[in-house]
Amino acid sequence: MVKDKINRSVCFFMLYHKRPQVTRMSMWHMAKVIKMFNEAGHRAQGFVVGCASCEPRQKEYAEKLGLGHVSIPNKPLSRKFSHAYQQALLKETDYICKVDSNNFNSNDYWEKCIDVMHGPKEASFGTNRFCVMSSDPEKQDTCVFKTRQSMHLCNSGQFYLNYSLSKSVNFRSIYNENQNCNFDGKINEAMTSQWNESVIKTISSEPDDCFDVKDGTDIHSYDSYIRKRNGVYPAYKNRNELVEEYEELKLLDLGYFKPSCDKIVEPGADLSELERI
């Protein structure tokens, strides 16, 4: 006798600042994922966090996608990250999941996450690999990064059980006031200190679980990865191949995520009929 699947709830959220085109790509992707989870039986919702007065058109775009918007100054970053996580926890869903503003994940990865959510609750889960690529079509090389410690996962697409996160992390004090990196790493460290590394589970380890799309304004640049390609970071498919597989990249190259474009393309639409903008 097959047991009925358990349906959960999840809140997706995103922090954004600048990088207007790849940010819109990631917002569009997050809206698609929310729909995907709802159709699978998991109640899903999402919001983005940024400075509405600094980037009003990004707020408008998010709301057109059906995403909520939380406005907060971009600095200090520590306050912005703390606020984002606290707002997600206040939604009182079973899980929360952050999607980064220059990332997207494969449908296969999300299907695995959907399956995990149908089963017993897990403190945290995700993938330990992501593919590094450029938003520039002229830069064809890509490579794959794998996290170096079992407690750390690719932070875009990592799920946290609301209960476990609330019990192990004090978001009023976890970050230093002037901290400007390793925000997600500090959370994983706090969780594993409360229990042990087994509470953070790797459910997938494929090169296309997650894509980190660099646009030249990144803390860790595209070139810093690519110069170690075929050595530290294994080479992966060239960019043109990935564009054919992922509608996020195709729409990015066609110009549908430019701030000047107000058209929302439905996921799964026939992109062959779209003209370049």
Distances (CA, A) of 158 to 35, 69, 114, 195: 18, 21, 12, 18
The verdict on whether omega for the bond into residue 76 sits within 30 degrees of 0, i.e. cis, is yes
Domains of the chain: 9-175+196-263 (3.90.550)
Percentage of the residues of the chain whose pLDDT score is greater than 90: 95
**pTM assigned to the model:** 0.97
Average predicted confidence (pLDDT) for the chain: 96
Question: How many whole angstroms from its chain centre is CA 31?
Answer: 11
Flag whether pLDDT at 1 surpasses 70: no
Read off the pLDDT of residues 103-123 as tens digits, 9 standing for 90 and up.
999 999 999 999 999 999 999
The string of pLDDT tens digits covering residues 15-71 is 999 999 999 999 999 999 999 999 999 999 999 999 999 999 999 999 999 999 999
pLDDT value at position 3? 58
For residue 219, the model assigns a pLDDT of 83
pLDDT in tens, 183-233: 999 999 999 999 999 999 999 999 999 999 999 999 889 999 999 999 999
